[in-house]
Copies of this chain bind each other. A is one copy, B any other.
Amino acid sequence: MNILQYSPDEYKRLIESFHGSAAPGMLIGGIMVDAALERLNTAQLYDAICETSSCLPDAIQLLTPCTVGNGWLHIVDLGRFALTLYEKDFGKGVRVFLSADKTAQWPEVRSWYLKLKPKKEQDREALTDEILEAGVGLCGFQNVEVPPLFLTKQSKGEIALCPACGEAYPKNHGPVCRGCADQSPYLSVLDGS
């Protein structure tokens, strides 16, 4: 079973080099992206929605033109292991999810998906084998439509210089940038070189 143009071994090397390890979520994610692309008219431009921030965004970024940084991958963290690819003209798309029902006959997959045992007790080899054997049989599919908000790139609007830190930021964030308002993630900041 290939994932797009990659054999399982090639895909494993690809995800190891980008994601750091051949995590089960990356393997299932690759199968899900492949299945979505098969059902989408990819002659049209498309974007992606990912409903989790775990693993799956990386499978999308590796296997489609959609990345976080180019704005074509939207992470809407609903905590569900699901992704949608949708065409950008009218927002019609295909949602693929890991189906709990369909994991019933695959004990290692089910155990991983529902976190039924600690990671260190996982039989990674059996889990990988089950994923490759079950393949697209683990997936559910829906036809979805996304709202206009997802069809056009949201402009940052006018850029201002923050009077507090001196850095550029979108003026519509307020009189100072968010970092100088109350959203800084840092405990301390000292000038460096």
Chain A residues within 8 Å of B, Cβ to Cβ: 18-21, 23, 25-26, 39, 49, 51, 53-59, 61, 65, 67-72, 74-82, 84, 91, 94-95, 97-101, 113-115, 141-147, 150, 156, 158-159, 161-162, 165-170, 173, 177-179, 183-193
Structural contact, A147 and B187, CB atoms closer than 8 A: yes
Q: 9 extra interchain contacts, Cβ-Cβ under 8 A, other than A20-B67, A78-B169, A114-B161?
A: A26-B69, A56-B69, A80-B162, A80-B167, A84-B186, A97-B167, A100-B161, A100-B166, A143-B191
Task: Jot down 16 A-B pairs with beta carbons below 8 A, ordered by A.
Answer: A23-B70, A25-B69, A49-B185, A61-B68, A78-B178, A78-B183, A79-B178, A80-B168, A80-B177, A81-B167, A82-B167, A91-B187, A142-B190, A145-B187, A146-B186, A147-B186
Structural contact, B101 and A166, CB atoms closer than 8 A: yes
Closest 5 CB pairs of A and B: A58-B69, A141-B192, A78-B178, A57-B69, A143-B192
Closest B residue, CB atoms, query A180: B78
Structural contact, B179 and A51, CB atoms closer than 8 A: yes
Task: Kindly provide the distance from the CB of A128 to the nearest chain B CB, expressed in whole angstroms.
Answer: 18
Structural contact, B19 and A186, CB atoms closer than 8 A: no
Chain B residues with Cβ under 8 A from A53's Cβ? 68-69, 71
Partner of A79, one of B21, B59, B173: B173
Partner of A67, one of B49, B58, B141, B193: B58
Closest B residue, CB atoms, query A185: B76
Chain B residues with Cβ under 8 A from A183's Cβ? 76, 78
Task: Kindly provide the distance from the CB of A15 to the nearest chain B CB, expressed in whole angstroms.
Answer: 9
Partner of A158, one of B115, B161, B162: B115
| Assembled-state Cα–Cα distance A72/B23 (Å) | 14
Structural contact, A142 and B192, CB atoms closer than 8 A: yes
| Assembled-state Cα–Cα distance A184/B97 (Å) | 14
